[in-house]
Structure formats: C-alpha cells, structure tokens
Amino acid sequence: MTSVPQIMLNDGQTIPQFGFGVFQIPPEQTAEATSAALRAGYRHIDTAQMYRNEAAVGAAIRDSGVARSEVFITSKLSNAAHLPADARKAFDNSLSALGTDYVDLFLIHWPLPTRYDGDFISTWRTLEEFYRDGRARSIGVSNFQPHHLRRIHQECEITPAVDQNEIHPYFTQDDVREFCAEHQIAIEAWSPIAQGKVLDDPTITEIAARYGKTPAQVVLRWQIERGDIVFPKSVTPARIRENIDIFDFELSGEDVEAISALNRNERSGADPDKFDWIPA
C-alpha cells in the first residue's frame, strides 16, 4: 500500500489527507474500532467533545504502541461551550480525556448563528488562545459557510486552517470549496460516503467495476483526487481496511468529473444556518 499523502495547512503544519472518523461510535466500542484503524495504518483520528468518545480514542492510541507524535488528533468544541470561559474549560477537559497535552487540530464544531447572539467571533478568538499557547497545533472550523468564514476573515487575526463540511458526490458544496481555495483554508469532507447512501449509485458502481475497486474506495479516491481531507467511519474491521486501501490506483480526470456531476445539492446532515442543538 502506498502511503497516505500529507497536506500542508496555512499555518505550516501538516495533516494526513486520510484518517478515521468516530462519530456515532458508542464510547464502549470506540477503543476497539480505533485500535483496528491504527493497526490498518490510519494515523489521523477525528473525534469531538459531542461524540463523548475522546477518552476511548486516547486509550486506543496509548495502547497501540504508536507514538503520540505519529498520530494526528482532531477534536471539536461542544455546542454547549461557545462562551469563552466554557470553551477554555471544555478544551482542558478534551486534553485530559484524550490523555495528551496538545491536539493537532481543534475546531468550532458548528457556527450556531441563531445561538449566543450569533457571536462565534469571541469563540474563535478563544481558539486563537489555544493556538498561541501551543496546546492546539492548528485551529479551524466546521460547518462554516462562506458568509460565516467571511466574518472571521474580517474580524479576527488567524484564518482557520481547515473548514470541515458535509461533502460527498450528492453534495459537493462548490461555493464553500471555492471560498476556501481562495483563502488557503483546507477542506475536510465529512460523511464522505454519505453514510453509505451513494454506494449503489450506477455511475459509481460502474466506475468501481472498471477499476476493480469497491464503490466506497472509488468515492474516497475521488475526494483524495479533489484535494479534500477525508476520514470515513466504520466499526467493521474489513471496511476499515478496505477504506484505506485507495492509494494504489488513480481515477481518470473524466471519472472524477463524472462523479462530481452527480451533485444534487442534497444534504444528509443538518443545515449549518439552522442547526441549533445544544447537548444537555
């Protein structure tokens, strides 16, 4: 297997372009799934405070024998903790749950424009503190649309290193990708296989058959060739191995275009301008 490419972020740090997502993995299954991913060669784990499984991710990394410095860890701020004092406490809790003194990347999980008087600026300035004190090597956002990013760009000092958004063949978010390309913000694509919904699309199954690869591998390879960072989730060891086995082939430009053309502007997750859920 050829190795996972590294992407240089706008702050000079590098991130493995491919990793493992742990959304919706119950805490009691997370250590096992993360261990399987580390055994399969994954070196980038995407978790969040709201997933409630940071402690299990940290335990799996410690038990794996892989050095902390070899694993890129991302976590994200809870929707309940946008006020600066709460964000500081929540960030401390993330580090202690993960059992580490730094995260590689820390994100505002959702912009929540209808909460906190629409103020994600003071939240972002709090993340800037974590970046400056070195406990977050990079900072970024998630589910931010161009109009949210524009405010950060105009009102804050640091440009987010990444914007993590729902992106897959049925929802390509070209406007977000264009804005980010223009401002050197790397794109992370969440739900890269749309939680399985794109896998029986005839265009994708036809391309997969031609390359002798599975539909999931073709979709993940499409994301890699478009330059996005991806971290599919699976609790199934065979799929965990299948998903990372995408570095021994390349899609033709024509096939990349054919998959991009499947866009239907169809979200499977929440709309960032409306989403206002706060965990208890």
Q: What is the dihedral of CA 40, 44, 47, 52, to 10 degrees?
A: 50
Q: Which two tokens stand for residue 72?
A: 């890129």
Cβ closest to ligand NAP, residue 142 vs residue 173: 142
Q: Out of 42, 51, 116, 131, pick the active-site residue.
A: 51
Closest approach, Cβ 34 to ligand NAP, in A, equals 11
Closer residue to ligand NAP (CB): 132 or 277: 277
Provide the minimum distance between the beta carbon of 9 and ligand NAP in the complex, in angstroms, as a whole number.
Answer: 17
Rounded Cα distance between 111 and 95, Å, is 22
CB of 28 or CB of 254, closer to ligand NAP: 28
Which residue in the block uniquely carries the two structure tokens 């931010």?
144
Query: What are the CA-CA distances from residue 204 to residues 194, 233, 246, 247 (Å)?
Result: 13, 19, 15, 18
Separation between Cα atoms, residue 68 and residue 163, nearest integer Å: 24
Q: Distance (Å, rounded) from C-alpha 132 to C-alpha 126? A: 10
Whole-number minimum distance, CB 79 to ligand NAP, in Å?
A: 10
- Active site (annotated) includes residue 51: yes
Interacting residues with ligand NAP (CB under 6 A): 21-24, 46, 109, 142-143, 164, 190-196, 199, 216, 231-236, 239, 242-243, 269
Smallest separation (angstroms) from ligand NAP to the CB of 44? 10
Report the residue closest to ligand NAP, judged by CB: 21
Task: Name which of 19 and 255 has its Cβ closer to ligand NAP.
Answer: 19
Query: What is the per-residue burial (b if ≥16 Cβ within 10 Å, else e) of 152-166?
Result: beeebebbbbbbbbb
Count of other CB atoms within 10 angstroms of residue 219: 27
Catalytic residue numbers read 51
